[in-house]
Amino acid sequence: MASLHDDTFRRIAELMHGAIGLSFAQSKKPLVSSRLAPRMQRLGLDDYEDYLALISGHSDAGEFQMAVDLLTTNETYFFREPAHYELLEAELVRTKPRTLAVWSAASSFGDEAFSTAMLLADMAQLGRIGSDWSVLGTDISDRVLRSATQAVYPQERLRNVTPERLRRHCLRGEGESDGMVQIHPRLRERVRFGQLNLCQPIEALGPFDVVFLRNVLIYFDTETKRDVVDRVLTQLRPGGLFFIGTAEGRVACKTPLQSLAPGAFRKVVS
Ligand SMILES: C[S@@+](CC[C@H](N)C(=O)[O-])C[C@H]1O[C@@H](n2cnc3c(N)ncnc32)[C@H](O)[C@@H]1O
């Protein structure tokens, strides 16, 4: 198998940084080469230079998207960092909103969007929030968005979902689909997915009452992080809740935020 030369690696990293903000340090060279190698093999290419030429030319946008799909890290699961859902629930119990718009801004396979939808559906059912709620999930990766729209998951990814919620919101697969679950159409109709690059200007999407931007900032450098956070926060209404991954620390953004808990903030009303 071909080896990835430092210079080619640097130019792949620059291409990805410029297009979608991902920052690949030199230490990530083995990861980049191992993720691209099977694709190159499939295309009959044995030189990373040839693959770079393919994804950097304008003639094959599909192959560039394929490289994005391969180089993004999409790990996620239902009710990840449960303290954030508890905080959201407590806040909604306190404010009893009649309408609620939520954005999962790096949604990956949709686990975060559907976890939120389960919580909101249950709260609406109990009359704790109004029935006019919706969730939007966006991501840069086509592959994860296609999967999110299908809303089919290995049961293991729903390990943090209570048995009652599983019964209420999921359909269990049988036969060939044993071990898989599909989100109930009732919930799926409240959750939309679309492609959005956090590193480009965001057309008016919101305003949202709650924004999740969790476990994506770690892949960006400091400047990109700050720009992405400020850009995303333009879509959050003042007073709205903003969540980042608990391991992602405090972001030095220009938008004033009040810290509520690890990874949880309120956009200050100016
Ligand atoms: C690790 S997943 C996080 C999923 C979920 N938010 C969570 O916390 O479980 C990170 C996601 O960010 C997406 N991503 C990376 N760069 C992006 C960009 N520039 N714009 C939009 N999404 C991006 C990746 O495709 C990936 O699905």
Radius of gyration of the chain (CA): 20
200-222, pLDDT tens digit by residue? Answer: 999 889 899 999 999 999 999 99
User: Of the residues 108, 146, 202, 229, which should be mutated to test ligand 1's pocket, given the most ligand atoms within 8 Å of the CB?
Assistant: 108
Q: What would the two tokens of residue 182 be? A: 């599909």
Spatial distance between the Cα atoms of 241 and 245, rounded to a whole number of angstroms: 13
Residue indicated by tokens 């999921």: 170
| Per-residue pLDDT, 196 | 97
| Ligand 1 touching residue 106 (CB < 6 A) | yes
Q: What would the two tokens of residue 101 be? A: 């718009």
109 Cβ partners below 8 Å, 6+ apart?
Answer: 74, 76, 144, 147, 148, 153, 157
- Is 35 known to be catalytic? yes
| Ligand 1 touching residue 203 (CB < 6 A) | no
Catalytic annotation, pick one of 139, 188, 190, 209? 139
Mean pLDDT of residues grouped by 10 in the chain (270 residues)? Answer: 91 96 95 96 94 87 93 97 98 97 98 98 97 98 97 97 97 92 97 97 92 96 95 97 92 92 93
DSSP assignment of the chain equals -----HHHHHHHHHHHHHHH-----GGGHHHHHHHHHHHHHHHT---HHHHHHHHHSSS-HHHHHHHHHHHS-----TTSSHHHHHHHHHHHHHH--SEEEEEETT-TTTHHHHHHHHHHHHHHHTTSS-SEEEEEEEES-HHHHHHHHHTEEEGGGGTTS-HHHHHHHEEE--GGGTTEEEE-HHHHTTEEEEE--TTSPPPS---EEEEEE-S-GGGS-HHHHHHHHHHHHTTEEEEEEEEE-GGG-----SS-EEEEETTEEEEPP-
| Ligand 1 touching residue 75 (CB < 6 A) | yes
Using the atom order of ligand 1, give the atom closest to the CA of residue 21: 19
| Per-residue pLDDT, 249 | 79
| Per-residue pLDDT, 1 | 67
Residue located nearest, by CA, to atom 19 of ligand 1: 20
Question: Between 48-56 and 61-71, two packed helices, what is the crossing angle to 10 degrees?
Answer: 120
| Ligand 1 touching residue 224 (CB < 6 A) | no
Catalytic annotation, pick one of 35, 157, 168, 237? 35
Predicted structure pTM score: 0.96
Using the atom order of ligand 1, give the atom closest to the CA of residue 144: 27
